[in-house]
Amino acid sequence: MSLLVIGSIALDSVETPFGSNQDAVGGSAVFFSYAASLLHPVLAVGVVGNDYPEQELARLAKRGVDLKGVSRADGESFRWRGRYSYDLQNRDTLETRLGVFADFAPTIPEDFREANLIFLGNIDPELQLSVLDQVSKPEFVVCDTMNYWIESKRDALIELMKRIDVLMVNDAEARQLSGDWNIYRAARWILDNGPRLAIIKQGEYGAVLVEPDNRIFYLPAFPLEEIYDPTGAGDAFAGGFLGHLARSNDVSSANLRRAMVYGATMGSFAVERFSVDRFEEIGPAEVTARARAFRELVHFDIPHD
Amino acid sequence: MSLLVIGSIALDSVETPFGSNQDAVGGSAVFFSYAASLLHPVLAVGVVGNDYPEQELARLAKRGVDLKGVSRADGESFRWRGRYSYDLQNRDTLETRLGVFADFAPTIPEDFREANLIFLGNIDPELQLSVLDQVSKPEFVVCDTMNYWIESKRDALIELMKRIDVLMVNDAEARQLSGDWNIYRAARWILDNGPRLAIIKQGEYGAVLVEPDNRIFYLPAFPLEEIYDPTGAGDAFAGGFLGHLARSNDVSSANLRRAMVYGATMGSFAVERFSVDRFEEIGPAEVTARARAFRELVHFDIPHD
């Protein structure tokens, strides 16, 4: 299956208790692509400014990411600067400069339009809708969003929800969107409003997949003794999730659970280094080993009473 | 195996967004006993005042809880009054009246002294040590504690840790005790200081069992759409955990994982009603069904890549 991502391509400056970086590659499309490309080729759509390092695009291309949909516009690339608290539980956005992203109107290249697996990274829901208008065979659409859009573009988001298969958000977003504090009721609200699946991410705790008839799968996060930079973990999760579905061409319940495992695997790699650095250190063997380690983490048997 | 619990026998007054109660039965020994007695008989040690309702002791006795170790002292029973925040994430203690608990010096009845599974509920670590001095065949000792003792009786707690098998605490307590924010490093610190196992509870998220050589088992909490009163969930968890070990007479790794499932099962029942009310509504069939439902919640297979 062909896998398309649309999202931000950013330069991030991040401060954590363990160090900081400056203008490192980031953005939802980039974290997604680094993770997914370990499992399956990716078609990427986005925009960069004049200042975006050519070698960074080359690094992505070398990983099997088709950048035909990434345009270079006159101006500055999207920049985000943030600082994490001592325990990495909270982050403050210190600066957001939209740059060329402010006027971004995604155009899907002709030969991307038959993509059937689609990740709509966290951008304006109206742009997410315009992407769906341009693709001809969307079979499985996963969509992320954030508090800013839930507040400012709620109607577009509600319209979008009718056209996607999975809403993949974190717990705070699920609560804000549904108006319900309980994440399982929030998930039910999401399913009542369009998507047939909800995935709610809970950061260091794990992530839950909710299917119709209240079928619930909860996967804890991979236990890590060292976490350097949580930035991009959610997008890497999406990349692992959709990368696995794309390579296996199977959206059965059992395979959705496996996809969650690959999502959590990629999320755990993302936070082990700054930016996308960890993805440069690992290959298929590390991915498989960690995905299998999840079995040992959660499995038990109850033979009889 | 014989299972002994020592802890508080209290009258709780709790306010939650969903209602409140007044002088309802509570305390670590009581929540533990209600949960454990669904799986195995319990020997209870504690103290009550003149005002403690006789019929509440009769209700416990009827469940297979041997109250020979529960003395009635002259004075008022231990009382706790607390209020939970709108989302049940935080609670304020409004009042604690120690009453007869202030002068409690546990005496283990002669025929309880050969108990081999022991739960030291959250009381002064010096009293917990005195219990261990009175039992002759402790094979598996699980100990809880809280911030108050970590601050005020750290030395006794450190001494106690050398004589127990499992420290079972929540994440905030593990962090405070170890001085380490990361719960997996905190668990390693615990194992380096005596216990051979650490169980760290994370409330609505789940609980982790850490064994030597960094073997980790993470069990999510049972997904509940309605939570009425979190009071006693941790003690009910301990009751399910030790009740299962007692009835199965097996502390292998595989069975410790099962015991975690029974712990989480009992914790999830505890929060579905005020006080111990839910335990009066359920029997072995409900316990088994929910424990088995955990399989569906977490299991996946990764057949091949």
At A260-295, the pLDDT tens digits run 999 999 999 999 999 999 999 999 999 999 999 999
| Chain B contact set for A226 (CB, 8 A) | 182
Average pLDDT over residues A161-170: 98
The number of beta carbons lying within 10 Å of the beta carbon of residue B214 is: 12
| Average confidence score pLDDT of chain B | 96
Average pLDDT over residues B147-152: 95
The number of beta carbons lying within 10 Å of the beta carbon of residue A273 is: 16
Contact A219 B298 (CB under 8 A): yes
Contact A258 B300 (CB under 8 A): yes
Res B19 pLDDT > 70:
yes
Helix/strand/coil (H/E/C) assignment for every residue in A17-48: CCEECCCEEECHHHHHHHHHCCCCCEEEEEEE
Res B296 pLDDT > 60:
yes
CA dist B232 and B28 (Å) reads: 7
Q: Residue B262: its pLDDT value, please?
A: 98
| Chain A contact set for B85 (CB, 8 A) | none
Res B305 pLDDT > 60:
no
Q: Which amino acid is at A27?
A: G
Q: Which residue of A has its CA nearest to B217?
A: A297
- By the CB < 8 Å criterion, does A212 face chain B? no
Q: Are B80 and B10 in contact (CB under 8 A)?
A: yes
Residue identified by tokens 């707690």 is: B157
| Average confidence score pLDDT of chain A | 96
Q: Are A209 and A257 in contact (CB under 8 A)?
A: yes
Chain B residues 152-191 within an 8 A CB cutoff of chain A: 181-182, 184-185, 188
CA distances from residue B226 to A49, B18, B149, B201 in whole angstroms, order as listed: 49, 10, 32, 20
Question: Smallest Cα–Cα separation from A140: which of A17, A242, A65?
Answer: A242
Chain B residues 84-113 within an 8 A CB cutoff of chain A: 86-87
Structure-token pair, residue B262: 């029974």
Q: Residue A163: its pLDDT value, please?
A: 98
Band the pLDDT of B279: cuts 50, 70, 90: very high
| Chain A contact set for B261 (CB, 8 A) | 300, 302
CA dist A91 and A82 (Å) reads: 7
Q: What is the pTM of this model?
A: 0.96
Q: Residue B304: its pLDDT value, please?
A: 58
Band the pLDDT of A143: cuts 50, 70, 90: very high
Average pLDDT over residues B198-211: 97
- By the CB < 8 Å criterion, does B292 face chain A? yes
Average pLDDT over residues B31-35: 98
At A211-262, the pLDDT tens digits run 999 999 999 999 999 999 999 999 999 999 999 999 999 999 999 999 999 9
Q: Which of A116-120, A266-270, B55-59, B83-87 has the lowest mean pLDDT?
A: B83-87
Contact A300 B254 (CB under 8 A): yes
Residue of B180, B185, B217, B218 to mutate, interface with A, max A Cβ within 10 Å: B218
Q: Which amino acid is at A263?
A: G
Q: What percent of chain A has pLDDT over 70?
A: 99
Q: Are B304 and B60 in contact (CB under 8 A)?
A: no
Q: Are A187 and A158 in contact (CB under 8 A)?
A: no
Query: CA B113 from chain center: how many Å?
Result: 20
Give residues with Cβ within 8 angstroms of A134, minimum separation 6. A106, A107, A108, A113
Separation in Å, CA of A47 to nearest CA in chain B: 34
At B230-240, the pLDDT tens digits run 999 999 999 99
Separation in Å, CA of A299 to nearest CA in chain B: 6
Contact B261 A302 (CB under 8 A): yes
Q: Which residues of B25-38 are buried (b: 16+ CB within 10 A; e: fewer)?
A: bbbbbbbbbbbbbb
Contact A206 B220 (CB under 8 A): yes
Q: Residue B161: its pLDDT value, please?
A: 98
Contact B220 A220 (CB under 8 A): yes
Q: Residue A259: its pLDDT value, please?
A: 98
| Chain A contact set for B292 (CB, 8 A) | 302
| Chain A contact set for B258 (CB, 8 A) | 300-302
Q: Which of B36-40, B85-89, B209-213, B263-267 has the lowest mean pLDDT?
A: B85-89
Structure-token pair, residue B233: 């969930």
Give the A:B interface size as CB pairs under 8 Å.
Answer: 98
| Chain B contact set for A288 (CB, 8 A) | 305
At A40-51, the pLDDT tens digits run 999 999 999 999
Band the pLDDT of A304: cuts 50, 70, 90: low
CA dist A255 and B8 (Å) reads: 47
At A145-160, the pLDDT tens digits run 999 999 999 999 999 9
DSSP string, A237-281: HHHHHHHHHHHHT--SHHHHHHHHHHHHHHHHHHTTSSTTHHHHH
Using alpha carbons only, what angle is made at residue B83 by residues B81 and B89, rounded to the nearest 5 degrees? 135
Q: Residue A287: its pLDDT value, please?
A: 97
Using alpha carbons only, what angle is made at residue A10 by residues A12 and A174, rounded to the nearest 5 degrees? 90
Q: Residue B152: its pLDDT value, please?
A: 96
Question: Smallest Cα–Cα separation from A65: which of A42, A48, A95, A98?
Answer: A42
